[in-house]
Amino acid sequence: MADPRHLKDTLKVCMFDQYGTVVDIQGGLTRAAAPYLQAKGWQGNPGSFVTWWRRTHFENSMIDALLHKQHTPYREIGFRAVCHVLERAGIAYTDDEVRDLVAAIERLECFPEVPAALARLQTAYQLVVLSNGDPDMLEAAKPYHGIPFDRVISVAEANSFKPHVDTYTRAAELLGIAMDEILFVANHAFDVIGAKAAGMHTAFINRRDRPFERTPYQPDIVVRTMQDLAELLA
């Protein structure tokens, strides 16, 4: 792990993944999906349904990034993913029902310790979001998470989903900040790896206490919660 004292001397920006790092996507979508699945008579675990949804979404977004054609909106990737999972589960649905489920992503709330931790970090750094979400989705989410980020950037600016290198380099260009003056913070190993490979410093929020990938792109900081990160850096 890097020396936090050295990082504090060089960092100007803390940049965050939003879904799963700032806001609780697994818990929030599970709470949104549970009554819908119950009304459909499905007897499975809503949390497992959401995990399948998210894994399918991730796979489809990575395919979209690798194809590197016209960028497909996050909302459309989510729509396709939920349709696929409902069909695999044998659940009849309408397109409007699926759109309503996907829209729940816009209403996610922060993990409990995040608001206070980010307020503390904001006394020393600019706080920026770099998210796979569509610009309008990220705008709609602001009243629900309530964090006054200095800037919110969608990967639509780079025409690709993270962890494509263009997403991180484009975000730095928009901010006018050197890559090594940014600490990218994420709960997802793929995002940490992508940002580190692109030239940013990185912090892994290891909420689930899991080992990191065997990769040359190791995080500079590993902490359990955002509060731990604020105590190290603020």
Kindly report the pTM of this predicted structure: 0.95
pLDDT bin (cut points 50, 70, 90) of residue 2 is low
Q: What is the pLDDT of residue 1?
A: 66
User: Can you give the pLDDT at residue 82?
Assistant: 98
DSSP 8-state assignment for residue 17 = -
Q: Set out the domains of the chain in order of their start, with CATH numbers.
A: 4-24+108-233 (3.40.50.1000), 26-107 (1.10.150.240)
How far apart are the C-alpha atoms of 145 and 170, rounded to whole Å? Answer: 25
In this prediction, residues 191-209 reach a mean pLDDT of 97
Q: Which sign does the torsion angle of CA 197, 207, 74, 184 carry?
A: negative
Closest CA to 72 of 156, 141, 135: 156
Would the pLDDT of 15 be above 70? Answer: yes
Average pLDDT, the chain: 96
C-alpha–C-alpha distance, residues 142 and 19, integer Å:
13
Q: What is the pLDDT of residues 155-189, one digit of tens each?
A: 999 999 999 999 999 999 999 999 999 999 999 99
Query: Is the Cβ–Cβ distance between 119 and 142 less than 8 Å?
Result: no
Share of residues in the chain with pLDDT > 70 (%): 98
| Non-local CB neighbours of 231 within 8 Å, separated by 6+ positions | none
Q: How many CA atoms lie within 13 A of 11 on its CB side?
A: 30
Helices 95-103 and 25-39, packing angle to 10 deg: 150
- Asked if 130 and 16 touch (Cβ cutoff 8 Å), the reply is yes
